[in-house]
Structure 1
Amino acid sequence: MTRLKHLTCVLAGIGLSTITAAHATEWPAPIKVVEARGARVVGTFEAPGGLKGYAARYNGQGLALYLTPDGEHVLVGSLLDAKGSDLSQEPLEQLVYQPMGKEMWERMEKSAWIADGSPKATRIVYLFSDPNCPYCNLFWQQARPWVESGKVQLRHIMVGMLRPDSAGKAAALLGAKDPQAALNAHEAAGKASTLKPQDKVPGEVRKHLAENLDLMGEMGAQATPTVFYLDDKGRLQQQQGVPQPEALARIMGSQPE
Structure 2
Amino acid sequence: MIGCTPASEAPLPPPVQALAAKGITIKGPLKAPDGYRGFVGEYRGHTLPVYLLPDGEHTVIGSLYDRAGNDLTSDSLEAASAPVLDDATWAALGKTRYIAEGATNPRRIVYVFTDTECPYCHKLWAATQPLLAGGDVQVRHILVAVISPTSPYRAAAILQAADPLAALRQHEQSFGHSTVVPAKTLAPAIEAALVANGELMDKLGVQGTPATVYRDADGTIHMAAGMLPDAQLKAIFGPR
TM-score greater than 0.5 by the shorter chain: yes
Which residues of structure 2 form unaligned runs of 5+? 1-5
2:36 is the alignment partner of 1:51: yes
Contact preservation (8 Å) 2:145, 2:155: yes
Q: C-alpha distance in 2, partners of 1:35/1:71?
A: 17
Shift of the 83–188 alpha-carbon distance from structure 1 to 2, 3 Å rule, reads same
Residue 42 of structure 1 aligns with which residue? 28
Contact preservation (8 Å) 2:120, 2:210: no
Shift of the 76–250 alpha-carbon distance from structure 1 to 2, 3 Å rule, reads farther
Residue 162 of structure 1 aligns with which residue? 148
Q: C-alpha distance in 2, partners of 1:59/1:133?
A: 24
Shift of the 22–229 alpha-carbon distance from structure 1 to 2, 3 Å rule, reads farther
Contact preservation (8 Å) 1:126, 1:155: yes
Residue 12 of structure 1 aligns with which residue? none
Q: C-alpha distance in 2, partners of 1:76/1:227?
A: 30
Structure 1 residue 60: deviation in Å?
4.9
Residue 136 of structure 1 aligns with which residue? 121
Contact preservation (8 Å) 2:29, 2:40: yes
Structure 1 residue 222: deviation in Å?
6.6
Contact preservation (8 Å) 2:170, 2:179: no
Residue 3 of structure 2 aligns with which residue? none
User: 1:58-77 to 2 correspondence within 5 Å?
Assistant: 58-60=43-45, 62-77=47-62
Q: C-alpha distance in 2, partners of 1:125/1:162?
A: 22
Residue 171 of structure 2 aligns with which residue? 186
TM-score w.r.t. the length of structure 2 is 0.69
Q: 1:86 aligns with which of 49, 53, 72?
A: 72
Residue 111 of structure 1 aligns with which residue? 96
Amino acid at match of 1:127: F
Structure 1 residue 251: deviation in Å?
6.2
Residue 159 of structure 2 aligns with which residue? 174
Q: C-alpha distance in 2, partners of 1:236/1:256?
A: 16
Q: 2:108 aligns with which of 119, 122, 133?
A: 122
Contact preservation (8 Å) 1:227, 1:239: yes
Which segment drifts farther, 105-114 or 179-188? 105-114
TM-score w.r.t. the length of structure 1 is 0.66
Which residues of structure 1 form unaligned runs of 5+? 1-20
Amino acid at match of 1:29: P
Contact preservation (8 Å) 1:230, 1:237: yes
Structure 1 residue 202: deviation in Å?
2.7
Percent identity over the alignment is 26
Residue 226 of structure 1 aligns with which residue? 210
SS of equivalent to 2:38 = strand
Shift of the 251–239 alpha-carbon distance from structure 1 to 2, 3 Å rule, reads farther
Structure 1 residue 27: deviation in Å?
1.7
Structure 1 residue 150: deviation in Å?
2.7
Which segment drifts farther, 229-238 or 186-195? 229-238
Contact preservation (8 Å) 1:98, 1:235: no
Shift of the 50–196 alpha-carbon distance from structure 1 to 2, 3 Å rule, reads closer
Structure 1 residue 62: deviation in Å?
4.5
Q: Deviations over 1:167-224 (max 9, x none)?
A: 443222111233223312332344565323444543322332344456556766676x
Amino acid at match of 2:123: L
Residue 239 of structure 1 aligns with which residue? 225
SS of equivalent to 1:155 = strand
Q: Deviations over 1:117-149 (max 9, x none)?
A: 23524242322222x444432221012243333
Q: C-alpha distance in 2, partners of 1:134/1:64?
A: 34
